[in-house]
Chain A
Amino acid sequence: MERAGTHGEMTLTGEKRDWTHSLQDMRQQAAIAAKVFIQRDYTNGTVCQFQTKFPSELETRIDKQQFEETVRTLNNLYAEAEKLGGSSYLEGCLACLTAYTIFLCMETHYEKVLKKIAKFIQEQNDKIYAPRGLLLTDPIERGLRVVEVTIFEDRSLGR
């Protein structure tokens, strides 16, 4: 029993250390305070556009101009992706001719722009939003329905 006790103590301590350590890790990362959802703007039909209206929850976190700039850029990127231009037409023709086998090897125009958008969002998060305790989620993960902005708790102010 003693051995067990000792062993238990030792184990406990070890566990405690791990536990404390992981707790510290948890404390390092901010907790999610709230989420804001930027909805789609359907005034121009079903083209993928997001509302540029500045949500009130973000008022204290980020500049309105900055936010609107982000959303506008996103909108422009999506417009570019959905553009019915020469490239999309050519792509369609080529796909037809190859019995759509070309989709197995080639990336469509939309997918290319989506990659660009993902990069853009990542960059915005790193540079602008994360330092402000916000995080943008790529809308493609939500089916292009909403842009999710996660607001993190600002613990430094004791709130």
Chain B
Amino acid sequence: MPNSVGKRFKPTKYIPVSTAATLLVGSTTLFFVFTCPWLTKAISPGVPLYNGVVFLFVLANFSMATFMDPGVFPRAEEDEDKDDDFRAPLYKNVEIKGIQVRMKWCATCHFYRPPRCSHCSVCDNCVEDFDHHCPWVNNCIGRRNYRYFFLFLLSLSIHMVGVFSFGLLFVLHHMERLGTLHTTITLVVMCIAGLFFIPVMGLTGFHMVLVARGRTTNEQVTGKFRGGVNPFTQGCCGNIKYVLCAPLVPRYTGVDPRKKPPVSIQPPFIRPDISDRQISIKVSDNGIHTSILRSKSKISLDGLALDDKGLDTQPPLPPKADRYNQLKSQLTSSKDSSLTGKTHPSTPAMYKYRPSFGTIPKVHYNAAGEKIVMPDDHRKASAILEEGRCHVDYRSEPNLDLPDYHNAPLHRTFQSSPLQLDSYLINSRSLSLKQAHQRRDKGQLPTLQPETATSTPYKSVFSPNTLSNRNGSLSYDSLLNPSISPATEAECMAHPGMPSMGFHTPYLPTKMCHVRGPELQSQRQQVPPSFSPMLGSRGIGMSMSRQSPLDRDPSPVRYDNLSKTIMASIQERKEMEEKEKLLLHHAGHSQAQAYNQAQDSGMFDSPTPPAYGGSRDNLMGVVSYGPRTPVLRSSGGSSLVRAPRTSSSSLHTDSSMQGGRASEPSYRSPAHQPHHSPAMPQSPSYTHQKLSFIHALERTDSPRLGGPREAMMQSKVNGQTDCHLGPNSSSAQGNPLSPSRHSNVKKVTGVGGTTYEISV
């Protein structure tokens, strides 16, 4: 018995198919030899002819079912699965005709199994439209050969009925000579047919029902659509037509690598033109050189629900591993954002974090014309310009400057696009883009002239992206303060201190950063800008705040599979918090608490039930608890604060939603935690709080908070780090919290334990 390295010759797996083949061919042959001659004479020659045709049909279908490739997917190549393998969530959600379908990651084949695909353990392959593995034909039944299998069953049933009835006819006519050879053999054949009649007919009937319902055996047996709607059905007639008349799909495996003439690709390459109408935005390096990790963004399933989830392939982040190794964390966030795009929206960007930039090739953008062209809106553009000018300097830290970049202060010009969100997104994008390149030393002010730049892609990208971004990152959107008016935003824009950071803290999901945006913005409004940009988060906050007025759909981001380490760290933090709280309670130190909370907010904290449609909201509650304390303004908030995790949405009292969900009762399972992180505050107060979270250490702004004491007390009372006050309190107050002005360096702990120093 040959024993190859991979596959061993297993005779046992051929037993059922051999038995089936033997029985089928043997019995029918016997029937033809012994029974048919008499039948031909007694009834008509049409009998053997009919039986012959049926038998031929049975054989043909049997052979096709046995030997035809059922629709095996070839293994994914290495470069395709690089993003997905490490730390990839196990499931991706996809919406098919309005119904959420889960796609599972196949560890053997290295891709997310398409809907209806399943991995056959016997064949060790993923099979498209997997029905079942049939031992009688020793083959999987899948998309390509289901029809033949079904026809085999049908024809076999008919054949068995025919053989049995004609045999019975023969026997009945030869009752007196039952002992003769012919009769005996006919009886034997009849017995075989009768014996297998029930199972075969049963199976045939079962598959007839399946075909009519448009289900596979796998789906039926696992009860996938039990009581639910089958998104794959096309109606009874449609299903039957599909099974019987659909064109035969060619096989995927063994496809010869198309002997096509090699395409020679040599630089220089053509670059897309930017239309004149668009104003280019120059983005120069902001000094925070995060290696923008460019994920091989699979424009993933997120794209399936394009409008909802956005965040796919958001800021393109070409990795510069060689340079930015130290900026891993930052990179992660950008990677997260891009990865988020890549994964289904339900996957939190958070745990797509993979600082494996060494392996990711760099994407080189055309540095020459690297400008982001925004849809022109001169009026706003000028505002943005000014703003851009002003806040050039806030990039101070962390000082990760690399030699290439320090010479090019990054200027970001924002232009409000028709979708206000766009500008933020563009900013972040431009930033990320810029960072990716050798920044030209364009320390100058951004220009408004329409220059050729990569505006077109941006523009077009942004529109859908913003939407998607909005949705995706934003289930935060719902969290974001809807009350942020465009005017406010514009204001924010004009703020010199507005962080134009496009990148996200590595450890915070993009969404999180986005969530922060509104907070920051609101804070900013009140406090003179000159924030040093919080790494990424503010910028993102910016975009978030922009987005907030826009409609938001809760994005079904799920953080089911937050990595264990993150979960562990979250748990640690929680414990820390609790301890801190106790300490605070004694010491009466709000600051420490705030600090802890702030730290904690960096982590995905216990989820709070989302008030707005998104699991992210939970995170909001969680995150906000940190910043909340400092921002507690009114005593009214305290009552809200009281609502500890237990009460969810009841907390938010005011329209600006705060994510008040402060409530999430107990620490949910880690799987849920990541949900919360993105649930950043929606209301300006949240934004505000986020900011304060950043400044948590500072607490210098208590006066403006109008009651940090209260916050403190409340936080003490709550004893729960998540959602204590924060949005609740702020919402109670109804006025946006003014961000404290911090001139000193703040340490902010991001998710994953990274500490950032932000100078405000």
Contact = CB atoms under 8 A, between A and B. Distances in A.
Given A33-B363, A37-B80, A118-B260, A159 B269 contact: no
B60 to A, nearest CB: 4
A80 to B, nearest CB: 10
B355 interface: no
Interface stretch (B156-164, B293-301, B548-556, B663-671): B293-301
A62 B304 CA distance: 22
Contact of A51 (B111, B265, B304, B438): B304
B745 interface: no
- The secondary structure that dominates the B interface is loop
Contact of A159 (B57, B242, B301, B365): B365
A13 B255 CA distance: 43
A6 interface: no
Contacts of A42: 94-96, 101, 114-115, 301, 304
Given A91-B247, A99-B57, A142-B74, A54 B364 contact: no
Interface in B267-296: 267-273, 294, 296
Contacts of B74: 141-143
A84 to B, nearest CB: 6
Contacts of B269: 61, 131-133, 152, 154, 156
A114 B312 CA distance: 29
Contact of B366 (A36, A92, A157): A157
B45 interface: no
A155 interface: yes
A143 B56 CA distance: 33
B258 interface: yes
A70 interface: no
B454 interface: yes
Contact of A148 (B80, B265, B297, B366): B80
B336 to A, nearest CB: 14
Contacts of B301: 39, 42
Interface string A5-47: 0000000000000000000000011101111111111111110
A39 B97 contact: no
Interface stretch (B26-34, B455-463, B529-537): B455-463
A55 B299 contact: yes
Which residue of B79, B241, B242, B429 has the most chain A CB atoms within 10 A of its CB atom?
Answer: B79
A39 to B, nearest CB: 5
Given A57-B316, A143-B73, A156 B116 contact: no
B247 A82 contact: yes
B433 interface: yes
Interface in B501-534: none
A76 to B, nearest CB: 16
B271 A60 contact: yes
B731 interface: no
Interface in A61-115: 61-65, 81-84, 88-89, 91-92, 95-96, 99-100, 103, 108-111, 114
Contacts, number: 250
Nearest to A139: B252
Nearest to B82: A35
Contacts of B312: 53
B338 interface: yes
Contacts of B454: 59-60
Interface residues of A, number: 78
B460 A54 contact: yes
B303 A39 contact: yes
B187 to A, nearest CB: 30
Interface residues of B, number: 97
Given A61-B271, A84-B246, A157 B316 contact: no
Contact of A138 (B258, B429, B468): B258
B267 A154 contact: yes
Contacts of A141: 74, 255, 257-258
Contact of A57 (B79, B253, B303, B313): B313
B706 interface: no
Contacts of B338: 56
B265 A135 contact: yes
A36 B629 CA distance: 44
B304 A61 contact: no
Nearest to A133: B269
A120 B383 CA distance: 47
Contacts of B364: 33, 153-154, 157, 159
Contacts of B242: 84
A145 B461 CA distance: 23
Interface in B348-363: 360-363
A131 B298 contact: no
A30 B265 contact: yes
Contacts of A36: 296-299
B361 A32 contact: yes
Nearest to B313: A56
B181 interface: no
A154 B367 CA distance: 10
B260 A51 contact: no
Contacts of B258: 118, 138, 141
B429 A56 contact: yes
Given A42-B304, A108-B247, A110-B247, A126 B232 contact: no
B461 A54 contact: yes
A64 B462 CA distance: 11
A45 B96 contact: yes
A64 B272 CA distance: 9
A10 B435 CA distance: 49
Nearest to A109: B247
Given A41-B304, A110-B249, A59 B257 contact: no
Nearest to A28: B266
Contact of A122 (B128, B231, B260): B260
Nearest to B360: A34
B265 A53 contact: no
Contact of A37 (B255, B272, B296): B296
A56 B114 contact: no
A82 B683 CA distance: 48
Nearest to A53: B303
B545 to A, nearest CB: 22
A108 B250 CA distance: 8
B299 A37 contact: yes
16 contacts: A38-B299, A45-B232, A51-B304, A53-B468, A55-B313, A59-B461, A60-B365, A60-B370, A122-B260, A130-B264, A135-B263, A138-B258, A140-B252, A153-B362, A154-B366, A156-B269
Interface of A: 28-30, 32-46, 51, 53-65, 81-84, 88-89, 91-92, 95-96, 99-100, 103, 108-111, 114, 118, 122, 125-126, 130-135, 138, 140-146, 148, 151-159
Given A46-B116, A108-B248, 10 more contacts: A29-B265, A39-B303, A53-B303, A57-B297, A91-B248, A99-B56, A110-B249, A122-B263, A140-B252, A157-B267
- Which 9 pairs from chain A and chain B are nearest by CB? A159-B364, A59-B457, A133-B269, A156-B268, A51-B303, A156-B267, A143-B252, A99-B60, A64-B460
